[in-house]
Amino acid sequence: MNSPVAPAPPPAPARMKTVYPVSQESYERIEESGFQPADTRPLSTFAVDVDRASYANVRRFLTGGALPPIDAVRVEELINYFTYALPPITGEDPIAAYVEVSECPWQSRHRLALVALHARDVDMRERKPANIVFLLDCSGSMADVDKLPLLKEAMKLLVRNLDARDSVAVVTYKDEARRHLRSTRCDDKGGILAAIDELEAGGSTNGADGLRMAYDEARRHFDADELNRVILATDGDFNVGTTDRGDLVELIQREAKSGVFLTVLGMGTGNLKDSNLEAIADKGNGIYAYIDSFNEAHRVLVSQMSGALVTLAKDVKIQVEFNPAKVVAYRLIGYENRALAARDFNDDRKDAGEMGPGQSVIALYEIVPAGEKAPEGSIDALKYQTVSEGGPTLSRRTSNELMTVKWRFKHPDGEESVKREIAVVDGGTKLDRATNEFKFASAVAGFGMLLRNSQHIDGYSFRDVERLGRQGQGTDSDGYRGEFIALVAKADGLR
């Protein structure tokens, strides 16, 4: 965001928080992706994911002196938490691609391909007016200091940085949903801030009714020429009304068709229902962030406000085609719950991820190059044919291309996607010649795989990750890369 923002006020005074066993938190099970043979499965297709919740959640565990549960670690969200210095976008498209190929840090005989999509930045002074509905969980489980009290301060941060063109409504839910503040123009910030101050926690959690009411409020004031968004903040513990996750997802999919976008803020410790929040965000044209501190609230809602409010491209998908003459096998690191069928890439009815101003999506592919053997046991033997490791007999076997990267996106108000693609040649770059961005993203990927006890990273250590992270730290103007390096050392000490 380019426009100046108001200074952050001090956080609310601390109150005691409830201590829950970690077993009360819920995470979607993740089965780590294995290597795929380029001969028979040359296409890798997935929906982009700009969620960053997993990194802040992992940081919460490590700062508290514990390793995170394995399924709390979504490697792609760790990588995408950070900002990367990518080439400026030329042309008219809202997003562009960047690809870099170098040596794989944890397996020097393999190659690692960094595939990035990044969105152009937007001066927030030139953005459209915003129609925002805060949907706030005010149930009893939100009374802890790291939940509703922190949330109220976070909301005030955002309101103070909106302008008179914008409007804010507040819908709350406990045992039942209610309109706490009807849509109010931000030339009356005093009234909005006073309404936020009045919020108190207590009761059960009827989130489904809250979702319906919030979308209804957003539709009442919907304007195609404005930024229409619901911001849901909760620990995700829906225990009254519609409580089944499948039913909640179905509800949010219906509401998403209204053209209203969604931001999901996860709060608190001990009973965080991460699996619910991730699913709701994924199916609701939304993004998911976890607020573990006042600083993170400031980062998500002020420093990166444009990404939290503005959508530049929707239903963004990536498809990579690997050249079997150059690649024996490949493995996409992370994105297990964002995988799409190859045919979904050209199907505009298939929902995918959204990207806002200044956001980037990094995907890393570990590649077994032609002439090397795939790791033993990593690819099941084929029953009816053999996979050649020296490259197949193909009409394009003489091509020097390693792979082709394709991406599709829709404009925020469009229903027909735009397709772009670039061909990639591996220049044989060694790791010590790779960019800082490649080194740092690779270090974060290695960190995530170690936390997940990955079978693909034997012999690599937290100290190796720390060393590579320092090599790719760069200027680190916001200090987050330095914080990462400190977290790596902390994780090493907890092993």
The pLDDT tens digits for 10-40 are 444 444 444 444 568 889 999 999 999 999 9
* pLDDT for 242: 52
And the tokens for 457?
Answer: 């990273």
The pLDDT tens digits for 158-188 are 999 999 999 999 999 988 899 999 999 999 9
And the tokens for 119?
Answer: 């969105």
Residues 6+ apart with CB under 8 A from 420: 93, 97, 406, 407, 408
Q: Can you tell me the distance from the alpha carbon of 474 to that of 249, in angstroms, rounded to the nearest whole number?
A: 41
Residue 485 confidence (pLDDT) above 90 = yes
- Which run of H or E residues covers position 249? helix 245-256
Mean of pLDDT values over 287-313: 89
Residues 6+ apart with CB under 8 A from 357: 1, 119, 120, 121, 122, 306, 307, 310, 312
Mean of pLDDT values over 80-104: 96
Average pLDDT, the chain: 88
User: Cα-Cα-Cα-Cα dihedral of 327, 333, 338, 344, to 10°?
Assistant: -10
The pLDDT tens digits for 105-122 are 999 999 999 999 999 998
Q: How far from the centroid of its chain's Cα atoms is residue 247's Cα?
A: 23
Contact 312, 94 (CB under 8 A): yes
And the tokens for 243?
Answer: 């409580």
* pLDDT for 14: 40
The pLDDT tens digits for 222-262 are 998 899 999 999 887 665 555 566 777 788 888 888 888 88
Residue 5 confidence (pLDDT) above 50 = no
Q: Can you tell me the distance from the alpha carbon of 104 to that of 408, in angstroms, rounded to the nearest whole number?
A: 28
* pLDDT for 381: 60
DSSP tag of 388? -
* pLDDT for 284: 81
* pLDDT for 464: 99
Split at pLDDT 50, 70, 90, the class of 380 is low
Burial of 473 (0-12, 13-18, 19+ CB in 10 A): middle
* pLDDT for 2: 45
DSSP tag of 300? I
And the tokens for 59?
Answer: 């940081």
* pLDDT for 384: 58
The pLDDT tens digits for 273-285 are 898 888 888 888 8
Domains defined for the chain, CATH in brackets: 24-122+313-494 (no CATH), 124-309 (3.40.50.410)
